Amino acid sequence: MKTIITFIIVFGVLVIVHEFGHFFFAKRSGILVREFAIGMGPKIVAHQAKDGTTYTLRLLPIGGYVRMAGMGEEETELSPGMPLSVELNEEGVVTKINTSKKVQLTNSIPMELVRHDLEDELTISGFVNGDESEAMTYPVLHEATIIEADGTEVRIAPRDVQFQSAKLWQRMLTNFAGPMNNFILAIVLFIILAFMRGGVSVTNTNQLGEIQPNGVAEKAGLKKEDKVVSINGEKITDWNELATVISENPEKELDFIIDRKGEEFSISVTPRAEKSGKQSVGKLDIAVPMKTGLTDKIFGGVTQAFDSSLTIFKALGSLLTGFSLNKLGGPVMMFQMSSQAASEGITTIIAFMAMLSMNLGIMNLLPIPALDGGKLVLNIFEGVRGKPLSQEKEGILTFVGFGLLMVLMVLVTWNDIQRFFF
């Protein structure tokens, strides 16, 4: 249960923060956000706010999404012959269009749809009360709403508030805002981690940090701020080299050359053995030296976020030079990592979330249709060309990109299942 809750919270926060980026800058650009959903699947509750956005909570507690006007796959499907009802104001203008069998409007007019234009003309025509002798045409209010089949009420999408009606730079910023929010979240989480841990680890030094009481290092005579010059004649320049030598030599006596305040001397130390998976590793019961100043923690969190991005770029580079499904992970791997993080405590969960947030931001900027990076490529193409790609061609590219991503996701998920359960 702890793993499930951790997985839902981590994945949910990452996606909601990502989608809020799109939502915020779409609003600032005059683009109508028809729905902001928390969760996926069937609607549980919905509230239409005065800003024109319908906020919904959905059944499956993973992720969320925003529906922006003009994004074709998010529009309500209306077709000739479709039964619906309309609600009029005192001036005879349509304020609501009901397509749902779940919702009944008390003062509505039943209609069989003949034609509609909810983008430019803002009109709707149909046969009223079963009278097919003449189609009645009604003007539609610019801020009218439409009740969809599942009962969700959202605003219609006139052309002036659609995504494509915004300026190019506004659309680019709206597309980039999701990944940008993930980068910001990662930086904030890494800074929080630095404060929770009391400082930032310094790994580019051979100096020792805190010495655990009654541990191997203390019993051998090692002290905080000692510098390890060499081990068994092998020069030590940073913490990673020190940690590697220690971990590779459990229960083996090692000859340390120590520099303590400018004086060098030799100490024999035998790392204790500790189980790590199926093998034993050496431990000295020493901590990495830390910088504990306020600016050190803030700058260290930013640096750690940057380092994590470099790690992700290196992983992407290794995919290009030698592709393997084992280098990728899907929801199953995320669940496994959530389980491990949940068992290790809140700091590990935050570190896991920070790394995933950076990962999500970078992956979404890949120039693949259906991802934010693919949309930005189309924006740049439009800027160079002077006009956008036709909606039909853009739709085809998005469909192909989405299809390829789904195929890859299925393959990665199946590979994860085989790795973890068979």
d(Cα 244, Cα 228) in Å, to the nearest integer? 13
What is the residue type of 258? I
Q: Which of 19, 35, 148, 394 is catalytic?
A: 19
Q: How far apart are CA 88 and CA 108, in angstroms?
A: 7
DSSP state of 158: -
Q: Which residues, in sequence order, are CB contacts of 73 under 8 Å at separation 6+?
A: none
Pair 174, 22: CB distance under 8 Å: yes
Active site residue 19: yes
Q: What is the 3-state secondary structure (H, E, C) of 97-118?
A: EECCCCCCCCCEEEEEEEEEEC
CB 153 within 8 A of CB 87: no
Both structure tokens of 102: 């779940």
Tokens 């990728």, residue located: 328
Ramachandran sector of residue 301 (left: φ over 0; alpha: ψ -120 to 50; beta: rest): alpha
Contact 179, 374 (CB under 8 A): no
Residue 388: phi and psi, rounded to 5, are -75, 160
| Residues designated as active site | 19
